[in-house]
Amino acid sequence: MFKKILLTASIATFIASQALAQTADSLAHYTNPKPHKVVELQDRQFGETPKNIILLIGDGMSATQIFAGITVNGGMLNLNHMKHIGFSQTQSADNYITDSAAGGTAIATGQRVNNGVIALDADGQPIPTILQISDKNGKATGLVSTSGITHATPASFIAHQTSRNMYEAIAADFLKTDIDIFIGGGLEHFNQREDGKDLTKDLKDKGYQVFTSLEESAGSSEAPMAIFTAEGHNPDFDGRGEMLTEATRKVIEVLSADPDGFFVMIEGSQIDWGGHDNSTPYIVGEMLDFDRAVGAALKFAAEDGETLVIVTADHETGGMTINGGNFEAHSVTAKYTSTNHTAVMVPTFAYGPGAEAFMVYMTIPIFS
């Protein structure tokens, strides 16, 4: 009887180990079923000073995530069009390894803050963000995110809070600005609040058109508008389709109508979430989705001639390394050293007027 119990336990252990191995293999490997075509850009000369700035942040993205995307897309991404490339150090004020609140704040304000803090200095005073400064200078402004719009990175451009987890307070901060358009999830923090307020009504009272999907907003291009694409966070790339690219086109359509120019931050949030999961399919699928949005921004910038496109990250996530791949098979295999953020430098790409200014630096000069 004892031998039977041992045998049964051994079989169960073997089956479990095989299942874990299969799961690990599925998370390590990704084959791209449908490589996307990159945009075609003509060589052209740009001036020194941009009228418009499109800042795209790939949350959790570093060189490895990018090259994994290049590999499974057959050797080319839209990012390859961006010839001015630098690297950024990402440390926060109180930690060698930043989080998205401090990382986003560094990009948005030019100042390093403690992890978890949204655009407040060491004395708890608000730090003006590039979005708020652009607004004061008469430019149109916007935010786009594949997470909730109140999540750490987009919040860093519009809110001032002691904790990134103060989602309802961050939502209220949107009413303190004159942002022209924002697109993302997080509707629940506006209309299902503990204080009982419905901030969507306040937005409407302030003149905003409020939509609950991109499709619903299709017939309108007049600012200001708020487009909520999910109650909480948006689904991953499989579940949300081309939401990010469509949102990128939408925000550019709305903001480019302003004769004084515009600033917009567009975040591919979930590259980071794939890194936390150590999931190669999740990371690379999100990376490709982000690159399609980059393509939409580059296409506009090339035609417009007065728009600077910047692509960067707030930090790397997962300690991703590539240990196998095939350009022709559109496949890649990766390993990971962490389920959290790491301290490696992240790349910055630039295209358009002023792009030549980008090089190796701390995160804060992006603000300058």
Active-site annotation holds for 100: yes
User: With 60 as the cut, is the pLDDT of residue 362 above it?
Assistant: no
User: With 90 as the cut, is the pLDDT of residue 267 above it?
Assistant: yes
User: With 70 as the cut, is the pLDDT of residue 24 above it?
Assistant: no
Under 8 Å between Cβ of 313 and 58: yes
User: With 70 as the cut, is the pLDDT of residue 12 above it?
Assistant: no
Instruction: Tell me which CATH homologous superfamily contains domain 58-331+350-366.
Output: Alkaline Phosphatase, subunit A (3.40.720.10)
How would you label 38-58 residue by residue, b for 16+ Cβ within 10 Å and e otherwise? bbebeeeebeeebbbbbbbbb
Q: Would you say 49 is a known binding-site residue?
A: no
Instruction: Give the model confidence (pLDDT) of 114-158 as tens digits.
Output: 999 999 999 999 999 999 999 999 999 999 999 999 999 999 999
Under 8 Å between Cβ of 337 and 290: no
Q: Would you state the pLDDT for residue 23?
A: 54
Tell me the torsion sign for CA atoms 202, 208, 167, 105.
Answer: negative
How wide is the angle at C-alpha 30 spanned by C-alphas 25 and 34, nearest 5°? Answer: 155
Q: Would you say 267 is a known binding-site residue?
A: yes
Mean pLDDT, the chain, as a whole number?
93
CA distance 147 to 269: 6
pLDDT band at 359 (very low <50, low <70, confident <90, very high): low
Active-site pick, 88, 100, 217, 279: 100
Q: Would you say 253 is a known binding-site residue?
A: no
Q: Would you state the pLDDT for residue 317?
A: 99
Instruction: Give the model confidence (pLDDT) of 146-201 as tens digits.
Output: 999 999 999 999 999 999 999 999 999 999 999 999 999 999 999 999 999 999 99
Instruction: Give the model confidence (pLDDT) of 308-348 as tens digits.
Output: 999 999 999 999 999 999 999 999 999 999 999 999 999 99
Could you tell me the residue ranges of all domains in the chain?
Answer: 58-331+350-366
Tell me the torsion sign for CA atoms 55, 61, 63, 65.
Answer: negative
Q: Would you say 315 is a known binding-site residue?
A: yes
Average pLDDT over residues 218-228: 97
Please indicate whether residue 157 or residue 11 has the higher confidence score (pLDDT): 157
Dihedral angle of Cα 349, 319, 120, 223, to the nearest 10 degrees: 50
Instruction: Give the model confidence (pLDDT) of 29-62 as tens digits.
Output: 999 999 999 999 988 899 999 999 999 999 999 9
Q: Would you say 29 is a known binding-site residue?
A: no
pLDDT band at 251 (very low <50, low <70, confident <90, very high): very high
Instruction: Give the model confidence (pLDDT) of 65-74 as tens digits.
Output: 999 999 999 9
Q: Would you say 314 is a known binding-site residue?
A: yes
Q: Would you say 153 is a known binding-site residue?
A: yes
Under 8 Å between Cβ of 91 and 140: no
User: With 70 as the cut, is the pLDDT of residue 366 above it?
Assistant: no
